[in-house]
Amino acid sequence: MKPPRRRPNGGNHKENHRSDHRDSTSRPDDERAPPLFPYPILYRSPRFVVVEKPPGLPVHPGPRTTRTLEDVLPALSRRPDGPWLAHRLDADTAGCVLIALRKQALLDAQECFRAHRVGKTYWAVVTGRPASESGTIDIPLARQDSPSGWRMIATPSPDAQPARTDWRTLGHANGLTWLELTLHTGRTHQARVHCAALGCPILGDPLYNPEKTTAPLHLLSRRLQLTPGTERIDATATPPPAMADTLARLGYRREESRNQSRKTSVSDGV
C-alpha cells in the first residue's frame, strides 16, 4: 500500500465519543483539537481519529480538487509525526475515514487493511430489487481505460483482483432497495461495481448506473471496525441528508440510527 501523504499537524483528542468541531473542554492546548476542524468526529484516541466525511469531498488532492479532507488534517494533531490518512474513500462516498495520528499507529492500521482484518460495512440505496433477500458477490475486478476515462469492470480475467461482497436487504419501496454491504476486500469502486453486477446499480452513480438522475451517490461507509495493535476501533456514521431522506422512505429511523452512531468501543492500548 502506498503510504498516505504526510501533513503538518495540530493537537490530540483524548475523548472517545462522537463530537463535532464545536466541542470544547478544559484540557491543555496541546491535547485539545482546535475548534476549526469542520467535520464530525466519530472516534478519537491518542493514536487515531475516525471522521465522518461528507459526500463530494475528496480525501486527498488531485488535478481537479479545490479542497480535500487532507487539507484540514493539521487541525487534529500538533505532533511532528502525522497525521496521515490510513485508507481511501471515493470523493462521492460519505462516512467513516480513519486517520492515524502517529507513525506507528499508521503502520498498525495498514497491517490490518493488508491482512483483511477490518470490518467494513456500507449502506447503499440501489435501483431495482435483488431476486433474493441476501447473498454474496464474488467477482474479480479490473481497471479498464478508454479515451473518455477509466472505470472498474467485473471480469474473470487473470489480471483482475479478487473481490467479495456480502449483501442483505434492509428495506425496499417504489423501485428502490436499501442494502447493507459487507466488503471483505478493498478494491477500487468495489461496492459500486458489485451492486451493478447484481443488477441493482447504486442510485446516483454516474459511472455504473445507466439511469440518469440528479440524485447524489447514495453510498455510505456506515461502520468501520479494526484492532490495530491492542486498540479496538468501532465507529458508525450517519447518512448524509439526501441519502437519509431516501432511506426514510425505505424504513430508516433517523433517531435510532443517530443514537447508534454515538456508540463507539474504545481501548486506547498506548
Task: Give the closest residue to 221 by CA, choosing from 142, 119, 151.
Answer: 119
- Which pLDDT tens digit goes with each residue over 67-96? 999 999 999 988 877 899 999 999 999 999
pLDDT of the residue at 25: 34
Q: Taking a C-beta distance cutoff of 8 angstroms, is the pair 109, 226 a contact?
A: yes
Maximal C-alpha separation, the chain: 57
Task: Give the closest residue to 89 by CA, choosing from 155, 159, 10, 188.
Answer: 188
- The DSSP output letter for 191 is H
Lowest mean pLDDT among 110-114, 187-191, 257-261: 257-261
The Cα-based distances of 133 to 73, 164, 167 in angstroms read 40, 17, 8
Higher pLDDT among residues 23 and 242, named by residue: 242
**Alpha carbon distance 157, 200 (integer Å):** 23
**Alpha carbon distance 115, 14 (integer Å):** 28
Mean pLDDT of 110-115: 96
Q: Please confirm, yes or no, whether 90 is among the known catalytic residues.
A: yes
Share the mean pLDDT of the chain.
85
Task: Give the closest residue to 141 by CA, choosing from 118, 177, 165, 116.
Answer: 165
Residue 98, strand partner residues: 50
Q: Is 216's pLDDT higher than 60?
A: yes
pLDDT of the residue at 181: 98
Question: Annotated catalytic residue: which of 23, 71, 81, 90?
Answer: 90
Mean pLDDT of 126-144: 97
| Predicted TM-score (pTM) of this structure | 0.81
pLDDT of the residue at 62: 81
Q: How much is the CA Rg of the chain, to the nearest whole Å?
A: 19
**Alpha carbon distance 3, 5 (integer Å):** 6
